[in-house]
């Protein structure tokens, strides 16, 4: 289990292992830069998070397997109130467009602000790659796992940070493109940081911008440029047929405001007709818990006016 999810039991076990083997592991798993290609090839390190501040939710010390970023990523070692033993957090704006590949084992790509919670952008198995998208200023990116893995990092050109896709209006476009999105916390507690992904957004009079959930799950959806988006369809979504033209999508069918829902995953060429059952009164078309672009073709998806009341 990686550092973003681990519990107290893992903390105790990992700390004991570090005391026994930490020095040897650091010496063995040093990344290597490929001067010809500008790539980094290496094995994950057993990094240590030491509490040096006032907010340390994982205890005084914890460990986890993580990739070490090169100097060009302008990495930091600060996370919550911890100082990390290695350069495991890259500046998101520096690594936008870079491609990470897991060559052995598995690992997840995380992003978020140093002082808040981090969301998973992708989970990679051996042989799979992920290109870091344009993220918000101040975000950091890490590659972590609960077991050792091998990886490469290839520098690339940064994608446009706020350029709109070719056609994002589902009332006019076929196919219609995603909009890169952030689910921002709208409660009163300390900000836990955004969730990242992408959605099909609808006219404001026909869909909701917020999920109407409670606690830290209470979120409103924005584009990366700060524009409010409206991805939460009303009951009119029932019967909407979704065909994936490129990329992959996740279709949510749910009762607005609840923490439970039904999920349908589709890859390119797949088709699904939304079928709301029981008390379900909404749906959403989004990324599969990552930030990979997609396009869909829609039929029988005519948006209708909804009465939002005070819930949005």
As a whole number, the mean pLDDT across the chain is 85
pLDDT at residue 197 tops 50: yes
pLDDT tens figures, 96-123: 999 999 999 999 999 888 887 787 888 9
User: Residue 29: its pLDDT value, please?
Assistant: 40
**Cross-strand partners of 110:** 120, 142
User: Is the distance from CB of 248 to CB of 267 less than 8 angstroms?
Assistant: yes
Residues of each domain in the chain carrying CATH 2.60.120:
8-154
User: Is the distance from CB of 112 to CB of 140 less than 8 angstroms?
Assistant: yes
- DSSP one-letter code for 72: G
User: Residue 191: its pLDDT value, please?
Assistant: 85
pLDDT at residue 163 tops 70: no
User: Residue 201: its pLDDT value, please?
Assistant: 97
Task: For residues 193 and 215, give the distance between their C-alpha atoms in angstroms, rounded to a whole number.
Answer: 13
pLDDT at residue 136 tops 80: no
CA distances to 11, 42, 148, 212 from 187, rounded to whole Å, are 30, 41, 37, 11
User: Is the distance from CB of 77 to CB of 92 less than 8 angstroms?
Assistant: no
- The domain 8-154 is placed in CATH, from the list 1.10.3470, 4.10.860, 2.60.120, 1.10.1740, at 2.60.120
What the block records as the tokens of 242 is 């979704």
Which has the minimum average pLDDT: 57-66, 78-87, 234-243, 285-294? 285-294
DSSP 186-251: -SSSPP---EEEEE----TTTEESB----GGG-EEEEETTS-B---EE-GGGTT-EEEEEESEEEE
User: Is the distance from CB of 285 to CB of 265 less than 8 angstroms?
Assistant: no
pLDDT at residue 187 tops 50: yes
Other CB atoms within a 10 A radius of the CB of residue 216 amount to: 14
User: Residue 118: its pLDDT value, please?
Assistant: 81
DSSP 1-48: --TTT--HHHHHHHHHHHHHHHHHHHHH---EEETTTTEEEEE-EEEE
pLDDT tens figures, 256-268: 999 999 999 999 9
pLDDT at residue 304 tops 60: yes
User: Residue 158: its pLDDT value, please?
Assistant: 67
- What does the pLDDT average to over 235-253? 95
Closest to 200 measured CA to CA, from 146, 158, 247: 247
pLDDT at residue 288 tops 60: yes
């Amino acid at each position: 289990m990686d550092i973003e999810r681990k519990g107290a039991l893992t903390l105790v076990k990992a700390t004991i292992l570090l005391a026994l083997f930490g020095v040897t592991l650091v010496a063995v798993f040093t990344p290597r830069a490929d001067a010809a290609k500008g790539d980094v090839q290496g094995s994950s390190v057993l990094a240590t998070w030491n509490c040096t501040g006032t907010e340390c939710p994982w205890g005084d010390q914890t460990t986890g397997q993580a990739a070490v970023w090169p100097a060009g990523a302008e990495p930091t070692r600060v996370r919550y109130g911890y100082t990390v033993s290695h350069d495991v957090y890259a500046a998101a704006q520096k690594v936008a467009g870079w491609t990470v590949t897991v060559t052995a084992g598995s690992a997840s790509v995380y992003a978020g602000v140093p002082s808040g919670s981090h969301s998973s952008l992708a989970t990679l198995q051996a042989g799979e790659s992920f290109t870091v998208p344009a993220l918000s200023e101040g975000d950091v990116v890490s590659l972590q796992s609960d077991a050792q893995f091998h990886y490469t990092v290839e520098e690339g050109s940064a994608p446009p940070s706020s350029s709109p896709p070719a056609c994002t209006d589902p009332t006019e476009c076929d196919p219609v493109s995603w909009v890169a999105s952030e689910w921002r916390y709208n409660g009163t507690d300390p900000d836990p940081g955004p969730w990242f992904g992408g959605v099909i957004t609808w006219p404001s009079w026909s869909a909701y911008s917020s999920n109407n959930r409670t606690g830290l799950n209470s979120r409103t959806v924005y584009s990366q440029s700060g524009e409010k988006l409206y991805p939460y369809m009303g009951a009119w979504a029932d019967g909407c047929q979704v065909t994936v033209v490129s990329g992959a999508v996740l279709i949510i069918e749910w009762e607005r405001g609840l923490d439970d829902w039904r999920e349908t995953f589709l890859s390119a060429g797949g088709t699904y007709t939304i079928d709301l059952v029981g008390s379900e009164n909404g749906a959403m078309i989004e990324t599969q818990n990552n930030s990979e672009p997609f396009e869909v073709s829609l039929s029988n998806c005519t948006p209708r006016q909804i009465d939002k009341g005070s819930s949005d």
